[in-house]
Structure 1
Amino acid sequence: MKPLHWKLVVDASDPHAQAAFWAAALRYREEDHSPLVRRLLGMGAVPDEVTTTVHAGTEDERLGWRDLAAVRHPDEPYDEATDAGLGHRILFQRVPEAKSVKNRIHLDLHAEEGARDKEVARLIDLGATVLHEVNEPSGSWVVMADPERNEFCVQ
């Protein structure tokens, strides 16, 4: 049987800020849904209130979904009509409640050999925080949190 395709979905207070952080953190690409949004608005298929302006006032300004944003691996296939990734992809969806407990799932980021401290510093510059460092016989890593306090590790 053929393996299942998947995407990781993350609840967020601000899906576009989370997408911007994770695109920079992973060196992924923020998906640009503006052609699809414009097409559906033009057809009258969606109301204006489900859309938003993403990166307002910048050269990257575009239309997007108010409650959804996504990032995708830059070298993997994507749907040219929607810019939706067809490979490694993370979708951020707005939810009304704030994060309140430890994640049940998290990402482990693997820095290049000898570059973990540099990678941690880069992620801090992007808005992440260090929660603690782990040094065990099985290995060492840094536990961090993204801007909405979702935990992830850097090895």
Structure 2
Amino acid sequence: MGLTRESVIDGLLAKVPYFGWLGVQVDRRGDELTTVLPFAGRLIGNPALPALHGGVTAAFLETAALVELVWTAMGDERGGFLPIEQDESMPRLPKTIDFTIDYLRSGLARDAYARGRVVRLGRRYASVQVEAWQENRSRLFAQATGHFLMPQPRD
């Protein structure tokens, strides 16, 4: 059985220990992916508010960007842009070039959701925008833009 987009996303979340510690999940509805950050007390950075730690927010947004990029790259009509590792268990993953986050308001002590949109997908470079919200999608608490170096086939 070959690699499917779903198995690669599951593998990506299992492969990175920090994703597991955060508790990140992916909800797929049709062709839309929503990355979910279930609330847990350990994610609080400011207990006085309480508010999500800024590093948690950043990691969550970068995770959502990677999930969307991998999903899109594997489903690309040109055959995908992710070369498979030698052991054939996972494709080689994009590497972050830069990631810019706009913290729009405090992330509160509740579940958070994010969706990414691949703006550009090329053989060497990709750009992804991400929006994160909690109870109301029109009231974002953070947004980000990431640029990624796409993996190249090994010779």
Q: TM-score range by the shorter chain?
A: under 0.3
User: Normalising to structure 2: TM-score of the pair?
Assistant: 0.24
